[in-house]
Amino acid sequence: MIITISTKNFSASDTLKATIETKLSRLDKYFTSEAETNVILTLEGGRQTIEATLNADGSLFRAEETTQEKELQNSIDRIVDKLSGQIGKHKNKASYHHKDNKSDRFDEE
């Protein structure tokens, strides 16, 4: 997975970037090809917003979470959970819609 992390109004530490990359790499199991993920971290008045947009095989998944500065680790976990739920729901719809056609974009779990 190709992960691009950008920030607005502050600079993220290397530890934070490594944490984001580690947690988002758990989503690799859903895709057969390279997926691109853009993560934007924004600090505005003591609140931090994390936006993640995942583009894989022509499908686009997006999650956003806003929290206080001290709760950033929990926000990252919630972002991964939201994306995982969206991907799972999309996979189920695609497999149901194409149940007779064996050309799904996702591997079987």
> Do 1 and 34 meet the contact criterion of CB atoms below 8 Å apart?
yes
Tell me, yes or no, whether 69 lies in a domain.
yes
Q: Which of 41-50, 57-66, 70-79, 87-96 has the lowest mean pLDDT?
A: 87-96
Tell me, yes or no, whether 109 lies in a domain.
no
Tell me, yes or no, whether 25 lies in a domain.
yes
User: Measured on CA atoms in the order 83, 87, 88, 90, is the torsion positive or negative?
Assistant: positive
Tell me, yes or no, whether 108 lies in a domain.
no
Tell me, yes or no, whether 103 lies in a domain.
no
Tell me, yes or no, whether 102 lies in a domain.
no
Give the tens place of pLDDT for each residue, 48-68: 999 999 998 788 999 999 998
Closest-CA residue to 57 (of 20, 87, 24, 23): 87
What CATH code is carried by the domain that includes residue 71? 3.30.160.100
Q: Which residue range is the domain that position 45 belongs to?
A: 2-97
The more confidently predicted of residues 30 and 47 is: 47
pLDDT, residue 15, reads 92
- Total number of domains in the chain: 1
Q: Which two tokens stand for residue 51?
A: 């936006």
Please say if the pLDDT value at position 107 is more than 80: no
Please say if the pLDDT value at position 106 is more than 70: no
Other CB atoms within 10 Å distance of the CB of residue 2: 9
Tell me, yes or no, whether 104 lies in a domain.
no
Give the tens place of pLDDT for each residue, 6-43: 999 888 889 999 999 999 999 888 887 788 999 999 99
Tell me, yes or no, whether 107 lies in a domain.
no
